Amino acid sequence: MGRLFGTDGVRGVANADLTAEMALGLSVAAAHVLAEAGTFKGHRPVAVVGRDPRASGEFLEAAVVAGLASAGVDVLRVGVLPTPAVAYLTGALGADLGVMLSASHNPMPDNGIKFFARGGHKLADELEDRIERTYREHASGEPWDRPTGAGVGRVKEYDEGFDKYVAHLVGVLPNRLDGLKVVIDGAHGAAARVSPEAFARAGAEVVTIATEPDGLNINDGCGSTHLAGLRAAVVEHGADLGVAHDGDADRCLAVDAAGEEVDGDQILSVLALGMKEAGTLRGNTVVATVMSNLGFKLAMEREGVELLQTAVGDRYVLEEMKRGGYSLGGEQSGHVIVLDHATTGDGTLTGLMLAARVAATGRPLAELAGVMRRLPQVLVNVRDVDKTRVSSSARLATAVNEAEKELGETGRVLLRSSGTEPLVRVMVEAADLEQARAVAQRLADEVKSALG
């Protein structure tokens, strides 16, 4: 039986893999585990619960709220808000637990549950393991110890969450955005209202696309995984830049005035140099993952910024940032963590800070992002294979070694199983795009053959 928790909570097809019963059970288990860990000691526990606009989030939210309240936890329902908003509100309101219902960039039929500890930080692996173990024990028939009477949790709507979060975002910006025209692609997701409002309050002229969620259209041909619409809109409206979020808005990608993509590595480059200049880049260090483009590493070396690399997943970036006391980290996918102002990746905050750098310098985004040159990087997702055997396959290890010898010092290879989807990712970098494609396809075929 596989582990329920991946690198970003529990995910699956809603009402098939992720059922109402599972959502309720995991919530009760989380309440009991955190109580046993002493999180609730001496006071009545409170949880913040939010969701993205997926249709399935409606019944899953109801299940989570029922589970928490049945375990004696008071619930503040904040409604449709980004994942980082739930994290922020968990900390700002002094709550003991935060719960977000979202499958991020995954297609609409999927959904997920993510838990935040007190302060708005992601739960430690050890606590997730205990929650899963407790859930499985009780799912097999062991009864829960349930409060009754006044001991049950109470449920309240917390409508102030939207304004409180937007005010926080605008309040931490180093400068206003007056004079900038920005196109925002909300992915028909959790940031559809938040991001345009925050940019407007910060002074930008805002044009919006994909900001009309109906529960079914989240990430559908829009957002950070589908940039074509944003590229076209930025050029059409003569905007200075565009930002695209994913379904739960914990990530942000951008496009410059010409409609060219500015990825997470480039965003990190721009923010790192801005923070270095302002004296807020602690340790003169930025933290990223092994998926970062080699061009990013070379740019940071040239600019005198230290780069620390971790395993793939924003949780590992965050762990390294906390360990070393660093203020900036992120992923090529657009998960960017500015630890002075957020406890997790925050796509709206990232977009705002990127725009603030453009406004402060008076330089176009393309010029700022040009500090790094992206080396050709090819990513192939291989589905319908046993991703658990990637690291143990001698055949694949041999294939990777041969590919690395072929590429030499001008490229690299990375094979990894996805933490959120049932697939294996093959990534190849090379100085020549055609070579990268050829090597990536050859390795993808080898993965399919070895693990299929």
236 and 171, same structural domain?
A: yes
14 and 52, same structural domain?
A: yes
Assess whether pLDDT exceeds 90 at residue 94. Answer: yes
pLDDT value of position 306: 97
Tens of pLDDT, residues 116-150: 999 999 898 899 999 999 999 998 878 899 999 99
* Residue where a domain terminates, one of 135, 159, 183: 159
Give the active site residue among 104, 195, 224, 292: 104
pLDDT value of position 2: 67
Confidence of residue 384 (pLDDT cuts 50, 70, 90): confident
**In the annotation, is 269 catalytic?**
no
188 and 120, same structural domain?
A: no
72 and 215, same structural domain?
A: no
Confidence of residue 1 (pLDDT cuts 50, 70, 90): low
Assess whether pLDDT exceeds 90 at residue 3. Answer: no
Which CATH number belongs to the domain containing residue 215 in this structure? 3.40.120.10
State the binding site for Mg(2+): 104, 246, 248, 250
Structure tokens at 434: 């055609």
246 and 193, same structural domain?
A: yes
Expressed as residue numbers, the domain containing 144 is: 5-159
386 and 364, same structural domain?
A: no
Assess whether pLDDT exceeds 80 at residue 410. Answer: no
145 and 34, same structural domain?
A: yes
96 and 28, same structural domain?
A: yes
* Residue where a domain terminates, one of 159, 184, 216: 159
Sheet with strand 181-185: strands edge to edge:
205-209, 181-185, 241-245, 252-256, 261-262
Which CATH number belongs to the domain containing residue 424 in this structure? 3.30.310.50
50 and 150, same structural domain?
A: yes
362 and 253, same structural domain?
A: yes
What dihedral do alpha carbons 273, 276, 278, 283 form, nearest 10°? Answer: 150
What does the alpha-carbon distance between residue 236 and residue 136 come to, in Å, rounded to a whole number? 53
Q: Cα 236 to chain center, whole Å?
A: 29
168 and 154, same structural domain?
A: no
Assess whether pLDDT exceeds 60 at residue 399. Answer: yes
Confidence of residue 418 (pLDDT cuts 50, 70, 90): confident
**Contacts made by residues 283-288, CB under 8 angstroms, sequence distance 24+:** 283/324, 283/325, 283/326, 283/327, 285/324, 285/326, 286/326, 286/328, 286/329, 286/330, 287/317, 287/320, 287/321, 287/324, 287/326, 287/328, 287/329, 287/330, 288/317, 288/329, 288/330, 288/331, 288/332
Nearest to residue 132, comparing CAs of 326, 1, 325?
A: 1
Residue 273's identity, in one-letter code, is: L
348 and 382, same structural domain?
A: no
Tens of pLDDT, residues 37-85: 988 988 999 999 999 999 999 999 999 999 999 999 999 999 999 999 9
Split into its structural domains, the chain has a count of 3
* Residue where a domain terminates, one of 100, 127, 159: 159
State the binding site: 104, 246, 248, 250
Across the range 218-246, mean pLDDT stands at 98
Q: Which of 97-106, 208-217, 333-342, 380-389 has the lowest mean pLDDT?
A: 380-389
pLDDT value of position 393: 87
